[in-house]
Amino acid sequence: MNAIKIFAPATVANLVCGFDIIGLALDYPKDEIYLYKSNNPGIRINKIYGPSLPKDPKKNSAFAALQLLLNKYEKLNKLKNNIGFEMELIKNIYPGSGIGSSAASSAGVVFGANILLGNPFNTIQLIRFAMEGERVASGSAHADNVAPAIMGGLTLIRSYDPLDITKLHSPNELWVSIIHPEIEIKTSDARKILKKNILMKDAIQQWGNIGALVAGLYQENYSLISRSLEDVIVEPIRSTLIPSFYELKVKCKEIGALGGGISGSGPSVFMLSKGNKIAKKVTKVMNDIYSTLKVGYNTYTSPINQKGLKWKKI
Ligand code: HSE
């Protein structure tokens, strides 16, 4: 097999209290990636459909992640400039939206390349390659978008060094509503504004929430999930960058959302709900609030994507 099409999902990182450690995969939106293995060495991005993105290897996350995988593969197999890849990216996930656009590209290409090479790498290795794409896109090699993109469902990063990632139980009825305000927040900037030190009392509250969120997911205890969706460390700082953030939170919860917060580093805001019906109402509330503002936006309603990346032979 020399050609493959990959469907790479959007992801929500941080999951409110789980900064840099908890993320989930969505069914939509998703990118489509055509990847071809060739005997012509090197990596080529033939076309990017949708928003304009750099094709420069130093700035393109898909390129950077795939280059790392290819270098490692050639080294392991004592090859030099034997293999090449060509790709076309259909970007349905807007770069800078906060729902894992760069993660979808980098996770998608390394996942596809691994299949085309006969699966030489395991999941953790693929996540490491894809994290390099995140470093290129945002200056930080976080894994809370690429892990759920590759593994599906909800994932928890216990440790970055060594990389130790586990999949969490995700209740079937958990749905996600997202609003993507069309403003630009660079992840690198949104990281720079965070405090380097936190108070012990805030840390205690935060790890209480994280533990309870995980317990709530396993118990399918929606009330406990709802109470745990609280972030006392990152959200108070980053929320100032997002128009009507607290109005979104309050009104979505009034209509029945369990809770939510900033998706990744923003500007997207997400809400979790029990069931599709409430999730759709929540998305409508998001629409109603933003339709009164002078900011363009998109909304999505999606279940959790249990499988993550999907592919088919072409
Ligand atoms: N955990 C990362 C951050 C996700 O919040 O900076 C970026 O999408």
Same-domain status, 164 and 192: no
Residue 42 Cα to ligand 1 midpoint, Å, equals 30
Sign of CA dihedral 213, 267, 127, 115: positive
CATH number at residue 80: 3.30.230.10
Among residues 187, 235, 283, 301, the one annotated as catalytic is 187
CA–CA dist 165, 157 (Å, integer): 4
Same-domain status, 156 and 30: yes
pLDDT value for 52: 79
Name the residue of 61, 97, 140, 242 to mutate for ligand 1: max ligand atoms within 8 A of Cβ. 140
In a domain, 56, yes or no: yes
Same-domain status, 130 and 8: yes
- Is 144's C-beta closer than 6 angstroms to any atom of ligand 1? yes
**Minimum-distance ligand 1 atom for the alpha carbon of 191:** 6
Of 169, 189, 223, the one marking the end of a domain is: 169
Provide the token pair at 10. 């959007």
Catalytic residue flag (residue 134): yes
For residues 45 and 87, the answer to whether their CB atoms sit within 8 Å is yes
Catalytic residue flag (residue 292): no
pLDDT value for 80: 86
Residue 141 Cα to ligand 1 midpoint, Å, equals 9
For residues 61 and 105, the answer to whether their CB atoms sit within 8 Å is yes
Same-domain status, 103 and 200: no
- Is 10's C-beta closer than 6 angstroms to any atom of ligand 1? no
- Is 191's C-beta closer than 6 angstroms to any atom of ligand 1? yes
Mean pLDDT, residues 85-90: 95
Lowest mean pLDDT among 73-87, 151-165, 206-220, 282-296: 73-87
- Is 274's C-beta closer than 6 angstroms to any atom of ligand 1? no
Residue 151 Cα to ligand 1 midpoint, Å, equals 18
pLDDT value for 201: 98
Query: Which tens digit of pLDDT belongs to each residue from 146-200?
Result: 999 999 999 999 999 999 999 999 999 999 999 999 999 989 899 999 999 999 9
- Is 265's C-beta closer than 6 angstroms to any atom of ligand 1? yes
What percentage of the chain has pLDDT greater than the value 90? Answer: 91
Of 146, 169, 192, the one marking the end of a domain is: 169
Same-domain status, 7 and 148: yes
CA–CA dist 5, 29 (Å, integer): 16
- Is 231's C-beta closer than 6 angstroms to any atom of ligand 1? no
Task: Enumerate the β-bridge partners of residue 166.
Answer: 156
CA–CA dist 210, 280 (Å, integer): 26
In a domain, 227, yes or no: yes
Query: Which tens digit of pLDDT belongs to each residue from 55-86?
Result: 777 789 999 999 999 999 999 998 888 899 99
In a domain, 313, yes or no: no
pLDDT for 87 beyond 90: yes
Provide the token pair at 241. 């960058």
Tell me how many domains the chain contains. Answer: 2
- Is 142's C-beta closer than 6 angstroms to any atom of ligand 1? yes
CATH number at residue 206: 3.30.70.890
Same-domain status, 248 and 268: yes
Expressed as residue numbers, the domain containing 288 is 174-303
CA–CA dist 26, 148 (Å, integer): 9
Among residues 11, 134, 235, 283, the one annotated as catalytic is 134
Same-domain status, 148 and 210: no
**Minimum-distance ligand 1 atom for the alpha carbon of 20:** 1
Task: Enumerate the β-bridge partners of residue 176.
Answer: 272, 302
In a domain, 8, yes or no: yes
Mean pLDDT, residues 13-17: 97
Residue 226 CB partners (closer than 8 Å, separation 6+): 216, 258, 259
Same-domain status, 165 and 232: no
40-49 CB burial, b ≥16 within 10 A, e <16: eeebebeebe
CA–CA dist 83, 166 (Å, integer): 33
Residue 118 Cα to ligand 1 midpoint, Å, equals 32
Same-domain status, 200 and 130: no
pLDDT classification of 126: cutoffs 50, 70, 90: very high
Of 115, 138, 169, the one marking the end of a domain is: 169
Same-domain status, 155 and 9: yes
Nearest alpha carbon, ligand 1 atom 8: 264
Same-domain status, 244 and 291: yes
pLDDT value for 1: 81
**3-state secondary structure string, the chain?**
CCEEEEEEEEEEECCCCCCCCEEEEEEEEEEEEEEEEECCCEEEEEEEECCCCCCCCCCCHHHHHHHHHHHHHHHHCCCCCCCEEEEEEECCCCCCCCCCHHHHHHHHHHHHHHHHCCCCCCHHHHHHHHHHHHHHHHCCCCCCCHHHHHHCCEEEEEEECCEEEEEECCCCCEEEEEEEECCCCCHHHHHHCCCCCCCHHHHHHHHHHHHHHHHHHHHCCHHHHHHHCCCCCCHHHHHHHCCCHHHHHHHHHHHCCCEEEECCCCCCEEEEEECHHHHHHHHHHHHHHHHCCCCCEEEEEEEECCCCCEEEEC
Query: Which tens digit of pLDDT belongs to each residue from 227-266?
Result: 999 999 999 999 999 999 999 999 999 999 999 999 999 9
Residue 142 Cα to ligand 1 midpoint, Å, equals 7
Residue 178 Cα to ligand 1 midpoint, Å, equals 16
Mean pLDDT, residues 77-96: 92
CA–CA dist 265, 283 (Å, integer): 20
